[in-house]
Amino acid sequence: MKLVQFLKNSKVALGIETENGIIDAAVEGARRGLRVPQTMIQAIRHGNMALEVLEKLTDGAVNFVQNPPAAPAVTGMERILCIGLNYRQHAMECGLELPERPVPFCKFSNALSAHRDTVRLDPAYREYDYEAELVVIIGRPARNVSAEDAMDYVFGYTCGNDLSTRDLQFSRGGQWLLSKTFDGFAPLGPCVVTADSLDPSDLAISSTVNGQLRQNSRTSDLIFSIPELIADLSRHFTLEPGDVIFTGTPQGVMHGWSADKKQWLKPGDRVDVTIEGIGTLTTTFC
Ligand code: ZN
């Protein structure tokens, strides 16, 4: 099942993407007298019960919305976690050895943005870069989970773009936070594919800038797999339902290009991140 968040009267609403359009879950649920989750985080927190009722709505639905403005695919989570240097060929293009353990960092919720949002680039910096990433959404509280059991804790998957300011990333004593969490720097979408509908282990992942292919890889190039990431993170703190993990980016980011060929993102540019089985997440810049 593909779930979306969209804006209705400026409020976040939950939808189900189908061949006939997006089902407005609240309106369709009310028509049938069913209690349905109103947002993605509610759907995640109610787990299988929520998924069962949403699945029911797909049969014989009459309340569709056409092309509503999108909201970020998940909102209201406690954590936006990211993993640095997690694709073999990306580590090579950066001239770095493969890490022995996952390299986590984080963003704040101000960084969330939606499919087709326009994100502002602060003119105080120059080296703006894209990073296509498969994003995992946690479905159940996870503490000290083994890699063998980790997939039982996943709610679903979406596309992310881990936007970065390279001239800030490496100039403040090694922390990456400031460079990664400008307003809008964590686009998420266009939909959440539930865990039962997608095997994330070998998906095509790509990005384009103004239609020109920049990244083109597969999630099988990940150094640390999704189960390994969940096991490692949950050994150090509790992952909560709705927490998202940006799992790292493949080769082809501008940071890895030779100095004379670099073309940093600039106002007017458009980046599309596409992952097989999920869809395409579009961000433009001003
Ligand atoms: Zn990243």
- β partners of residue 14: 5
- β partners of residue 22: 17, 65
Nearest to 185 by CA among 101, 129, 143: 129
Please give the distance of CA 77 from its chain centroid, rounded to a whole number. Answer: 12
Query: How far does residue 134's CA lie from ligand 1's centre (Å)?
Result: 10
Residue 131 scores a pLDDT above 90: yes
State the average pLDDT over residues 44-66.
Answer: 96
Residue 149 scores a pLDDT above 90: yes
Query: How far does residue 271's CA lie from ligand 1's centre (Å)?
Result: 15
State the average pLDDT over residues 184-207.
Answer: 98
How far apart are alpha carbons 27 and 196 in whole angstroms? 25
Nearest to 142 by CA among 213, 270, 241, 58: 241
Residue 173 scores a pLDDT above 90: no
Q: Which two tokens stand for residue 184?
A: 């809008």
pLDDT of residue 50: 97
- Close Cβ partners of 159 (under 8 Å, ≥ 6 residues apart): 132, 133, 134, 135, 188, 189, 190, 273, 274, 275, 278, 279, 280, 281
Query: How far does residue 197's CA lie from ligand 1's centre (Å)?
Result: 25
- Close Cβ partners of 188 (under 8 Å, ≥ 6 residues apart): 72, 73, 74, 112, 113, 114, 135, 158, 159, 160, 244, 281
Residue 278 scores a pLDDT above 90: yes
Architecture of domain 80-285: Alpha-Beta Complex (3.90)
Residue 94 scores a pLDDT above 90: no
Q: Do the beta carbons of residue 187 and residue 275 sit within 8 Å?
A: no
State the average pLDDT over residues 154-158.
Answer: 98
- b/e map of 87-97 (b: 16 or more CB within 10 Å)? beebbeeeeee
pLDDT of residue 138: 98
CB atoms within 10 A of CB 11: 10
State the average pLDDT over residues 85-94.
Answer: 92
pLDDT bucket at 45, cuts 50 / 70 / 90:
very high
Residue 276 scores a pLDDT above 90: yes
Average pLDDT of every residue of the chain: 96
Q: Residues 232-267: pLDDT tens digits?
A: 999 999 999 999 999 999 999 999 898 899 999 999
pLDDT of residue 174: 83
Domain boundaries, given as residue ranges, for the chain: 2-65, 80-285
Nearest to 252 by CA among 98, 122, 92, 43: 92
Q: Do the beta carbons of residue 214 and residue 130 sit within 8 Å?
A: yes
Q: Do the beta carbons of residue 61 and residue 28 sit within 8 Å?
A: yes
How far apart are alpha carbons 30 and 40 in whole angstroms? 17
pLDDT bucket at 132, cuts 50 / 70 / 90:
very high
Which residues line ion ligand 1, judged by CB < 5 Å?
Answer: 131, 162, 249
Query: How far does residue 273's CA lie from ligand 1's centre (Å)?
Result: 13
Query: How far does residue 148's CA lie from ligand 1's centre (Å)?
Result: 25
